[in-house]
Amino acid sequence: MKALRKLMDKAKPLFSPGGSLEKLQSVYDGFESFLFTPNTTSQSGVNVHDGNDLKRTMITVIVALLPCLFFGMYNIGLQHFIAIGTPDVSAWSMFVYGLLALLPVIVVSYAVGLGIEFIGAQIHHKEIQEGFLVTGLLIPLIVPINTPLWMTAVATAFAVIFAKEVFGGTGMNIFNVALITRAFLFFAYPSKMSGDEAFVKLDSALGYGGGTVADGFSGATPLGQVATNVGDTLSASLDTMQAFLGTIPGSPGETSMVAILIGAAILLFTGVASWRVMCSVFVGGFAMAALAHALPSSTYPASLLDPCAQLCYGGFAFAAVFMATDPVTGARTKTGQYIYGFLIGVIAILIRVYNSGYPEGAMLAILLMNAFAPLIDYCVVQRNVKRRLARLNANSQKGGHENE
Amino acid sequence: MLSKKNKEVLFNPLSKDNPVLVQILGICSTLAVTANLEPSIVMGISVIAVLAFSNVIISLIRNTIPTSIRIIVQLVVVATLVIMVQQFLIAFDYDVSKQLSVFIGLIITNCILMGRLEAFALNNRPWPSFLDGIGNGLGYAAILVIVGFFRELLGSGTLFGYQVIPQFCYDHGYMNNGLMILPPMALITVACIIWVHRARNKELQENN
């Protein structure tokens, strides 16, 4: 640590105004405040606030994401070795395969996103914010593993510039940046984002693994299988327990309910995420799934899934825990958070069941509700204002009568 | 012929007073017809023609139009010209007129037209009005062509229907961006052009 401090101090004059690298001052500042707590204090007045800052909040979310990340790596390997017909290799080699498959995506996501943030901060002479730390890890977890790296790079650049920087940077964005990345990929390159070939990596990862695909293998996700179901009963062999544990094909972070619940526990215990949003998403999803299940139809095969299974499959749980609870893009009032979360749950299952074009709807549901969050907040606040105004009028009238 | 004032009338709408970039008019058709380059150009030329001639006609009869019914008179003139353009396209460029579908007819409701007739043709002589129509039409057409160029190039890999991006790139994993074909991306493309335009023209930036 001391050596690092010394190095930073030694480099400081280079980056100060007049130094040879003064153009890169925001980069220096960013690294310094990332590595050390800044020793500057408020110069005007007294500010009493929580010691919890943006950096610590972000790190907490990263920690909460780690179970999903590590399980995702294991599952990438598991699905790969099942696909090439050697499911009996050790769990360790599965993990290593997944690590090697996912690592390039993580590197690309951070390099592109942070690169743009650094350039943006440099142009506007602002400090670099930690806002991309979480987004940069969310992107690899929600993008199918077979998405070409250049597509991920393009989508990340698009999302950071058009969903975040143009609105004023960290904390000012209207839409969830990671979901914009995925939505861009989803609409721009649909053939790479769904179907049988998107979610299970078949070739070798950085020279590790790989082999010929076993006969009769299909990489379709459970929801993908359900969407193509014909008849009044589900023909696909679906195991809700498997979905709960997460050993099914899917985007790296979304498959395991267990890992997501551990993450949810960390977020709720530290108070980083709103339990109102999280719970009401699940309530809304369950209610809509139960309604759909009560009126089953062979036209909409996803309505044949029972409600509990509905919540375990696809990206619903991951979106509920890590995406819907984004404090920047969600509703802020308490009542608003219940409405916001509930509608996300309802719309996600509504799209999943009744729109045959999209086997999963959590992404679109959250982006739609992101747009409505300010309106929900506005209505809640106005209702409160009206209620209090009515009370004030009632009181003053009563007071007036008493004076007479 | 081209006095200093007339020059301004003709050239200002190309950049500093561009109807799309600065006045944000005619956005609807800009989003609707620019998925390919060819219909963008045809649409641009149609608007130039309608705008120039309706400006001239309205300017010629400007002193005889009763103020209370001037909008109706303007609409009659514009609608006549639009139908002429539409019939011309159906006769000579049937495929493109199919692609443009209702949007040629909808030139009638294009805000740029009503804006120019109200703001310029009603108060100016025919020759400046003609130049004003040409200038604003060109300003609109230029944006359409730029947007159409990028949308067709990135969305379909073609220009005027000919493949431009070599097969070599597709063999190595390049794919057309399907989002560029969808209307939202037209909006973002226009936004990017506005961004560049404002960054280059300091006088357009508000002080805040």
**Residue A323 per-residue DSSP state:** I
**What residues does A208 pair with on adjacent strands?**
A205
Helix (H) / strand (E) element for A342: namely helix A334-354
Which chain B positions have a beta carbon within 8 Å of A123's beta carbon?
none
Is pLDDT larger for residue A91 or for residue A66? A66
Residue A404: pLDDT over 50:
no
The least confident of A173-182, A216-225, B134-143 is A216-225
Return the number of CB contacts < 8 Å for A and B: 19
For residue A371, what pLDDT is reported? 94
**pTM assigned to the model:** 0.86
Interface of A to B at Cβ within 8 Å reads: 148, 150-151, 154, 162, 184, 187-192
- The average pLDDT across A51-75 equals 87
Chain A: nearest CA to B177, how far in angstroms? 5
ipTM attached to this prediction: 0.85
CA–CA dist B179, A380 (Å, integer): 35
Q: Are B188 and A190 an interchain contact pair (Cβ–Cβ within 8 Å)?
A: no
Cβ contact A183:A363 at 8 Å? yes
CA–CA dist B43, B37 (Å, integer): 10
Gyration radius from chain B CA atoms: 19
Residue A67: pLDDT over 60:
yes
Cβ contact B9:B135 at 8 Å? yes
What are the phi and psi torsion angles at A239 (to 5°)?
-125, 110
- Residue position matching structure tokens 């991920």: A152
- The average pLDDT across A387-402 equals 82
Chain B: nearest CA to A187, how far in angstroms? 5
Is pLDDT larger for residue A315 or for residue A280? A280
What are the domain boundaries of chain B? Answer: 21-195
Chain A: nearest CA to B199, how far in angstroms? 13
Cβ contact A279:A337 at 8 Å? no
Helix (H) / strand (E) element for B163: namely strand B162-163
Q: Are A192 and B175 an interchain contact pair (Cβ–Cβ within 8 Å)?
A: yes
The model's pLDDT over A147-201, given as tens digits with 9 standing for 90+, comes to 899 999 999 999 999 998 888 888 888 999 999 999 999 999 888 887 777 788 8
Which has the closest alpha carbon to A356: A295, A302, A281, A279?
A: A302
The least confident of A218-222, B75-79, B131-135 is A218-222
